Structure formats: structure tokens, C-alpha cells
Amino acid sequence: MKKILEQKIRTIIEELQQSGVLPLFVVPEIRVERPKDEQFGEYTTNISLMLAKLVKKSPMEVAHIFQEKLASEEFEKVEVMNPGHINFYFSDAYFREIVTHINQKGSGIDYSVEEKREKVMVEYSQPNTHKEFHIGHLRNVFIGSTIVNVLRKSGHEVISANYIGDTGTHIAKCLWGLTKFYADVNLDTIENKAEFLGKVYSEATQAISDNPAYEDEFKVLQKDFDAGDKILISLWEKTKEWSMDEFENIYKQLHIVFDAYFFESIEEESGKKLLPELLKKGIAKQSEGAVIVDLEEYNLGVLVLVRKDGGVLYGLKDIPLAKEKFEKFNIERSIVVVDVRQSLYFKQLFKILELYGFHKEMIYCGYEFVALKDGESMSSRKGNVIPARVLIERVTESVRKQFPESPNPEMVALGAIRFGMLRHSSVSKIEFDVEMSVRFDGATGPYVQYAYARTAGILRKAEESGFSVSEESIIVLSEPLQMKEIELIRELSKFSSLVKEVAETYEVHKLAHFALKLADKFHSFYNDCKVIDTEHRDVSMARLKLVRATKIVLGETLGLMGIDAPEKM
């Protein structure tokens, strides 16, 4: 409706110009928005204020010209308010049509974009092997997978990709720790292998920091590893597989599937082959034994591609990776979800690609850190990370304690964790509160899941009471609509435009906010409006259709966030 109104206003302006009512001018951007206060209707526009000076009339005069032209059966009224705003109020007929439409389309309702559909790659997760998969990684996965779901829902072809950090200094430190402190241990007998690797990395990092002699030993091993020492490479491949197995177990638990995998070790080799060309073009240069890209003239500092000791850094790997994405997969847009610490780095990377002559649409989505409530920030080097599996276990146990009769406590726990992280803007730091996240009476995933389960329960009870709420038996809501019915339908009507907005902005937290508000409106409606009433079957059927529409949209919203929609709680 928003875009329809914007186009209609533009058409009216052009028609008024052609008829001479309005003078000729370049039509400015027309914006129709939801008013902050719903008492001012479903939509509002300030086009009259924008045009007043151009047409040499007062905003109110211009508004009244549009008022008559914009009247239609979809609106109960089109109202002009000082100093010239035009407000649109849906009619009851339009509200009833929204409910009918959702029921007819069911879960297959199409929210596709009107604009060009694209082939997009979303790269997210990006864990490092030989380190624990921690709660910060969870936030990345939840944001990235939700962006994938929303883009697919919006009609785009999406490739979900994962870039595994399987080489670099952290790998060498872990290998050094294994050979230094665990040479006599049969590694195959270790049970929690991924947890063990994280422990070894932390121990090695601390030992090297405390002892200069260990630093020298480590440098020798790192050099041998980079040179392809067969024993070290064999140990790397063996332990890397442990990490990959752990990652896959977590993805399976979270119902995450990737279409493509990239590995730093492979991109590093591609980067080394590309380096002579970067030097020849003058993009990169030698500097005190290292290879750098000087971006000072763009206020982006200096990016080191190769260290003095020959170690290859992220930049030299990410340049060929960007090319591979577009050339091999024929995508039109690349989105990367990485924490905020990489903000400057990605600006540098995109500028280097631009200087190289690679002009493609590349987008960086940053997100802030996660900590447990009252806990300190995490660091793999310090060994104080909170592993993802530990958080999942703690929240699941909390669900068992609070809801001992829950048929699937892990499902509730995973929904609580996802929602608890997704409801925050990506630029906000999170202090995750385990106990608060599983409550049924707060801004939580279980609260929204319960609302969905409640709609399912009402529909089951209706069937048992002799009401058939099938797709075929469409009955429109009767007049006049009750206020709680209108408030609920108004919220349902926002979903389509919300999906399109999130597909453009990647602000996935807005889905969680919508889900909460929709759940609130549903509970309020159900508390005030009797749904199953055998003495007033027509009213009951109409309200059951509204309950069913709510179930559909709540289910869609939860699904986009990767949260299960349970039929029972």
C-alpha cells in the first residue's frame, strides 16, 4: 500500500501539471510513512509541505487539492491536518480484505520485492578452527541466517556462504602448544576435541606471552609450518577436522545449512599469486620488509598485506575471495556479516578492490559484542570465552527448571537464545540474561512462541467444537469491527512492508520487535473478544479467521528468524 500511495500521489501531481492546476516542476521524492501515533491513521504524507513553495500556495491549500483526488473505497477517510499533513485511514472493508487475503494465501503468501530480483551471497559465521565456537559466533549466525531467510522471502536468489579461518598465527600457536605440552599424549583418546583445542590455544598464547624463549620457539615452528613441514601439516589437517566436525554439529543443532564454503588456506595461495600484480599496478608496495597498501589519502590508514616475516594477513586473502565470489558464482551483491572491530578493515578492503578496478556491490554488516549478564568481555587468548554449546546447555537447563512439563526444552531454549540476540540492534552490545530469556512474560522468544501455540490451540479447540476453519471456508469479518480486531489486523498489515524493509536495510531486529507487538495485540484481542461462541457462529467464524491469519503471520515471522513455531507449549 505504501508504494501504491506514493505512485498515486506522483500520478496526481503529473495530471495536475498537465491540466495547469499546478505549475511544471521536478517532482521531489514522495514519502508515505506509518505515523508514530496510530490515532493519525495507517499512513501519512507531508507532500503538501514539500510542494507549498514550489506551487506558491499554503500547505493546507495543497493538501486539500490532494484530499479530494486521493479518496478511494480502501479508505474510511483521507484527512488533512495542520500544518498540511495528509492522513489515510483504512476502511473496515479493507481490513477485512487483509484477513481474507492472508487466509487464502496461507504460508505461501508472497512478499516479493517489486524491484529487480538479484543473485546475492551472504557470508556469515566465519569461525576459526582450533578455537571454540562461542556465543559471539552465535550472534553472527543468527543475524546472517535471518538476512538469508528475508532475502529469499523477498524473491532474491541467495547463496549462504561460510569463510573458515583455517590458517594464520592462531593455528601456529595451537600447533606449537600441542607439540610443546602434549607431544606424549595420544590425541585420539581425547573426548571433547574441539574444547581441548581451545584450551591448548589459550595455554600456548599465555606461555608465549610470559616466556621470551617460547616466543623464539614458536617463530621457528610458524616458519616451518608456513614452509609446508609435512609433520606439522599432517597435525594441522587432523586437528582442523576436529574443529570442522564441531562446527557442523552446531550448525545441525541450529538448523543452519551453507551452500558454499571458503577456506583461508586456499585464499592465501590465491593471494600470493595475485601479489605481483598488485605491486606492478602500484596498489601495494614494499615497506621496511613488509608489503602494504597506503590508503592515507583516503583517510583509511595503512593496511599490511604481508608481514616482514612473510606471514600473509587477511587483506591478501580477501581480495581474491571477493573476485571468486562474483566470478565463480555470478552474483550481483555480496554481503558479509562480521563484528564491528572489522569496520575499518572492510572500508580498506573495498577501497583496495576499487583501486584494483573491481567495482561490485559489496556490503559489510557489523555487529557488536555479546557477554553474559554481569560477565566480562570474551577473549580466546585469555581463555574466558563462553562456548556456544555451554550457553545452549545452560538455557536448556533453565527451561527444564521453569517449565518441567515442556515437551521439548531444547527447542524452547534455542528460540530463547535466537530471539534474545536478534531483538537487539546489531550495533548494540548485548548482555545476555539466561533467566530472563526464557520467561513467558517478557520480551522473549518463548513469549512469542506461546502466542503462536495459543493460536494453534484455539483453532484445535474450534475444530473440536464443530467449527471448520479450512482455507476454503472464507468468511469475512462482520461490521462493525471491534477496536481490538482493528488493532490486530493493523499489525498484520505491516508484515509485508516490514519484510521488504529488512531486505533493504538488514535491520533484522525489527522482525523481533514486530513479533512482540503482534503477540501483544493478539493476546489483547483474545482477552477482549470471545472467539468460540456456539450461539454466534458467524462472529466466531470471522474471528477464527483472524486467529488463523495471526497464526500464519506469526509463524512466518518466527521462521524468518529461524525460530521454531510450536503447535503446543
Q: Which grid cell is 498? A: 516490514
Taking the C-alpha atoms of residue 496 and residue 492, their distance in angstroms, rounded to an integer, is: 9
Are residue 223 and residue 296 in the same domain, yes or no? yes
Does any domain span residue 482? yes
* Residue 424 reports pLDDT greater than 90: yes
Average pLDDT estimate for 549-554: 96
Q: In this predicted structure, what is the pLDDT of residue 137?
A: 95
DSSP 334-393: EEEEEEGGGHHHHHHHHHHHHHHT---EEEEEEE--EEETTPPPP-TTTT---BHHHHHH
Using DSSP's 3-state secondary structure scheme, residue 119 falls into strand
Residue 49 pLDDT greater than 70, yes or no: yes
Domain co-membership, 42 together with 129? no
Average pLDDT of the segment spanning 316-341: 96
- Comparing 180-184, 254-258, 403-407, the range with the smallest average pLDDT is 403-407
Q: 106 pLDDT exceeds 70? A: yes
**Residues 186 and 311 placed together within one structural domain of the fold:** yes
pLDDT value for 381: 44
Give the end of a domain, one of 42, 71, 90.
90
The alpha-carbon radius of gyration of the chain (Å, integer) is: 29
- At 383, is the pLDDT very low, low, confident or very high (cuts 50, 70, 90)? very low
Closest CA to 474 of 106, 111, 110: 106
pLDDT at position 478 is 58
pLDDT given for residue 114 in this prediction: 54
Residues 522 and 463 in one domain: yes
Domain assignment present for 317: yes
Which of these ranges, 111-115, 152-156, 206-210, 387-391, has the smallest mean pLDDT?
Answer: 111-115
* The pairing of beta strand 157-164 with beta strand 119-123: parallel
Of 349, 371, 393, the residue at which a domain comes to its end is 371
pLDDT at 100: 87
Q: What is the pLDDT of residue 257?
A: 97
Using a pLDDT cut of 90, give the percent of the chain over it. 67
**Residue 257: which CATH number?**
3.40.50.620
Please say whether the beta carbons of 474 and 100 come within 8 A.
yes
Distance in angstroms (rounded) separating the CA atoms of residues 258 and 252: 11
Residue 427 lies in a domain: no
Tens of pLDDT, residue by residue over 434-448, are 889 998 888 999 999
Q: Work out how many domains the chain is built from and give that number.
A: 3
The answer to whether residues 366 and 317 belong to one domain is yes
Asked whether residue 348 is assigned to any structural domain, the reply reads yes
pLDDT at 365 over 60: yes
pLDDT, greater one: 116 or 527: 527
pLDDT value at 215 more than 90: yes
pLDDT attached to residue 111: 58
Provide the greatest CA pair distance for the chain: 92
Residue 533's pLDDT is what? 83
Q: Is 501 a domain residue?
A: yes
**Which has more confidence, 559 or 311?**
559
Q: Do 85 and 35 share a domain, yes or no?
A: yes
pLDDT at 73: 65
Q: Is 163 helix (H, G, I), strand (E, B) or coil?
A: strand
Q: Which has more confidence, 379 or 235?
A: 235
- Check whether residue 236 and residue 367 sit in a common domain: yes
Tens digit of each residue's pLDDT (9 = 90 or more) over 134-181: 999 999 999 999 999 999 999 999 999 999 999 989 999 999 999 999
Residue 433 placed within a domain: no
pLDDT of residue 568: 87
**What is the domain extent for residue 57?**
2-90
Q: Do 85 and 159 share a domain, yes or no?
A: no
Percent of the chain with pLDDT over 70: 94
pLDDT of 71 reads 80
pLDDT for res 378: 41
CA nearest to 290, candidates 273, 274, 313: 313
Q: Are 335 and 121 in contact (CB under 8 A)?
A: yes
**Is the domain of 318 the same as that of 176?**
yes
Q: What pLDDT was estimated at residue 476?
A: 55
List pLDDT tens digits, range 59-76: 999 899 888 888 876 788
Residue 339 resides in a domain: yes
- Mean pLDDT of the region 99-122: 76
Q: Has residue 124 got a pLDDT over 50?
A: yes
Q: Is residue 388 part of a domain?
A: no
Q: Are residues 86 and 129 in the same domain?
A: no
199 and 319 part of one domain: yes
Looking at the structure, do residues 75 and 158 belong to the same domain, yes or no? no
Domain final position from 345, 371, 397: 371
Q: Examine the pLDDT at 380 and tell me if it is beyond 60.
A: no
Dist. CA 429–CA 367, nearest whole Å: 8
Burial classification of residue 516, based on how many CB atoms lie within 10 Å of its CB (0-12 exposed, 13-18 middle, 19 or more buried): buried
Can you give the pLDDT at residue 377? 47
Q: How far, in Å, are 443, 459, 481 from residue 455 at the CA level?
A: 18, 6, 20
Burial of 381: CB neighbours in 10 Å, binned 0-12, 13-18, 19+:
middle
pLDDT score, position 326:
97
- For the chain, the average pLDDT equals 90
Instruction: Check which CATH number belongs to the domain holding 30 and give it.
Output: 3.30.1360.70
